[in-house]
Amino acid sequence: MRFLLLLLISFLLFSQVAQAQGATESSPSSWIRVNQLGYLPHSIKVAVLASKQDQPITSFTLHDAQTHKRVLKSTKVTGYGAYAAFTSTYRLDFSQVSKPGSYYLKVNDTRSPSFSIGPKVYDQTADFLLRYMRQQRCGFNPFLKDSCHTKDGFVVFHPDKKVDSTFIDATGGWHDASDYLQYVTTSANATFQLLFAYQQNPGAFGDEFKANGLPGANGIPDILDEAKWGLDWLLKMYPKADLMFNQIADDRDHAGYRLPNHDLVDYGKGPGKGRPVYVVTGQPQGSFNYQNRSTGVASTAGKFSSAFSLGAQVLAKLDPAFAKELQTKAQQAYDFGAARPGVSQTAPGRAPYFYEEDNWADDMELAAVQLSRLTGQKLFLNQAATYGRMEPLTPWLGKDTARHYQWYPFINLGHYYLASAGEEGTRKEFLQNLRAGLEAVQQRGQGNAFLMGVPFIWCSNNLVAGLATQAMLYRQLTGDLRFNQMEASLRDWLLGTNPWGTSMIIGLPRKGETPENPHSSLSLLKGYRLDGGLVDGPVYNSIYSNLKGLKLDAPDEFAPFQSSLAVYHDDHGDYSTNEPTMDGTASLSFLFSALQMEGRTKGSVVKKK
């Protein structure tokens, strides 16, 4: 009886998903995947037909979603054969349609979800992402209207044993994901990404929230309020020129579902009485059986410095005194890192998982170029180029695998700045680096209908967001359109043009297929929506099958779309594919704000100098 009940539930879930994603009763084995949020009038518009059958497709039609009138019949169809769970796949190009409206596509009896074409489809999307960032705040949490982790924390791994275990005020910042650990490496990158998005596209952001995250305008764009929340915490984590902290808590945090304001995990000081704050030592660390492979401090120091430098530039007029403090800290952090090259990885606890960052030259490159922009000193620009030449390509680009956060950040924005502001020879060199990275991934993805060349490692969506950003920045710098198709595919992948037919951003679009059951205590225990959060995304089946403590809580609604290649589950129990991350969400702010601004300029490409 129980088996029959589960079978019935699975059938009903599949039927609902199939209808939402474009399958019909007469064609249950074919689906049309589209960007469910929509398309700018002058952007590339390509959908993907994915079928369980080996069927020849030569044309498709586009229909007005209101009148159902056919507005286009097209033969711009390209077949790609089998991919993932599908026997045949096709790209359906309807880029020629630019008239604003609501539409759907049809191939025989298979109909796509409805979608919009219009100049405002990306309006307020970057601000929408900030909903999740505010929800992730530690200290005072505006979503819960309560405070958490106010006893943080006590020092660990300090070289002076008299200081070890003493209290330090480290309250604030963001929880890293759906657990409550906090890392400088992801928080500093997230802070930089928010500041970068505002620097590049200031007109895309509104002011509807106060500095504490509660509703109410305060005369400051909300994205800058959020970035300052990050900067304030980073200053606490770097209290002295020669003392840095790298993380708060460890995997003792993984003690079951609970709200952050009810976190009573005991780290040796009593339940809820404070969490360990790890000193950056440049040496391998780990509180129990496992250790990381740290070799220096430059990866963390560089991230501190670049965030402080960009913060000083962006906030110079709004808060001159704060900007001056940031400039001092930026220089101190840079010097600290330059004297101690190497990586400072996050520390594991009782499990072997940690952020296995193996590169640091990119962090020092970005720090140096930001100091050059902040101070006007050419010396820093030259040093940035030297660091940049140590890693011309971020190593994951074009590869089929990597360890967890092995090459981080996933995009090297130092290359972008050198390509836009260096001397002529330097500009050409680093433009070539940007282009070579894009070419490597484009080559890897050219054989499938989704043009997906990003490896399905843990947090693959973060890589997609980073690569889409690199493609857009390269296009803006050069006017070169050779990566337009890949850029559009990466954008659309995150919004529904993927094998599972789901947006990877919670609640975007509101009426679309988006994650409903993310791996989160807030969602599981209270049914709270985590609007704006970018979930980890698909992983190789081989990764999924070997992770510890992973078990689905419900029948798999995406079962027909899973494959030996990759899996994605909209399930509370899947921490590998359906957990939203703070840094991944922040990394989308530039992309969405830029798309909003392109909607205002009719998609024209303006070279940046």
- Stretch 28-55: mean pLDDT: 96
Question: Hey, is 231 helix, strand or coil?
Answer: helix
Kindly state the helix (H) or strand (E) to which residue 103 belongs, with its residue range.
strand 101-107
In the predicted model, what is the mean pLDDT of residues 469-484?
A: 97
Q: By C-alpha distance, which of 11, 6, 3, 1 is closest to 557?
A: 11
Query: Which segments of 189-297 are extended strands (E)?
Result: 245-248, 276-279
Q: What is the DSSP string of 329-373?
A: HHHHHHHHHHTS-S--PPPP-SSS--------HHHHHHHHHHHHH
DSSP lists the bridge partners of residue 92 as: 47, 77
Nearest to 557 by CA among 568, 545, 565: 568
21: confidence class by pLDDT, cuts 50, 70, 90: low
Burial class (CB in 10 A: 0-12, 13-18, 19+), 375: middle
Q: Is the pLDDT of residue 7 over 90?
A: no
User: How would you classify residue 527: left for phi > 0, otherwise alpha for psi between -120 and 50, otherwise beta?
Assistant: left
Q: Is the pLDDT of residue 43 over 70?
A: yes
Which among 464, 514, 470 has a CA at the least distance from the CA of 493?
464
Residue 429, number of CB atoms within 10 A of its CB = 18
Could you count the other beta carbons within 10 Å of the beta carbon of residue 149? 24
pLDDT class of 353 with cuts at 50, 70, 90: confident
Average pLDDT over residues 206-216: 98
Q: Give the chain's mean pLDDT.
A: 93
Element (H, E) at 199: helix 184-200
Strands 580-581 and 88-93: unpaired
Which residues, in sequence order, are CB contacts of 68 under 8 Å at separation 6+?
none
pTM of the model: 0.94
| CA–CA gap between residue 268 and residue 248 (Å, rounded) | 14
pLDDT per residue over 230-263, tens digit each?
Answer: 999 999 999 999 999 999 999 999 999 999 999 9
d(CA 128, CA 220): 16
Given a cut of 50, whether residue 445 has pLDDT beyond it is yes
Question: What are the structure tokens assigned to 483, written together?
Answer: 């990566």
DSSP state of 297: S
Cβ neighbours of residue 519 closer than 8 Å, sequence gap 6 or more: 178, 571, 572, 573, 574, 575, 578, 579
Helix (H) or strand (E) holding 186: helix 184-200
Cis-peptide, bond into residue 409, ω within 30° of zero: yes
Strands 182-183 and 139-141: unpaired
Radius of gyration of the chain (CA): 24
Q: Is the pLDDT of residue 55 over 50?
A: yes
Burial string for 577-609 (b: 16+ CB within 10 Å, else e) reads bbbbbbbbbbbbbbbbbbbbbbbeeebebeeee
Q: What is the pLDDT of residues 513-565, one digit of tens each?
A: 999 999 999 999 999 999 999 999 999 999 999 888 888 999 999 999 999 99
Peptide bond before 172: cis, by omega within 30 degrees of 0? no
31, containing H or E segment: strand 30-33
Cross-strand partners of 149: none
Q: What is the mean pLDDT of residues 52-66?
A: 96
CB atoms within 10 A of CB 537: 29
Dist. CA 115–CA 97, nearest whole Å: 13
* pLDDT tens digits for range 98-134: 999 999 999 999 999 999 999 999 999 999 999 999 9
Two tokens, residue 354: 């940690």
Q: What is the pLDDT of residue 258?
A: 96
Q: What residue type is 76 in one-letter code? A: K
State whether residue 253 is helix, strand or coil.
helix
Sign of CA dihedral 315, 317, 319, 323: positive
Contacts of 381 (CB under 8 A, 6+ apart): 368, 369, 372, 418, 421, 422, 426
How far is it, in rounded angstroms, from Cα 520 to Cα 530?
9
Q: Rounded mean pLDDT of 161-169?
A: 92
Domains of the chain by range and CATH?
Answer: 1-116 (2.60.40.10), 157-353 (1.50.10.10)
E-strand stretches of 124-232:
139-141, 146-148, 154-156, 182-183
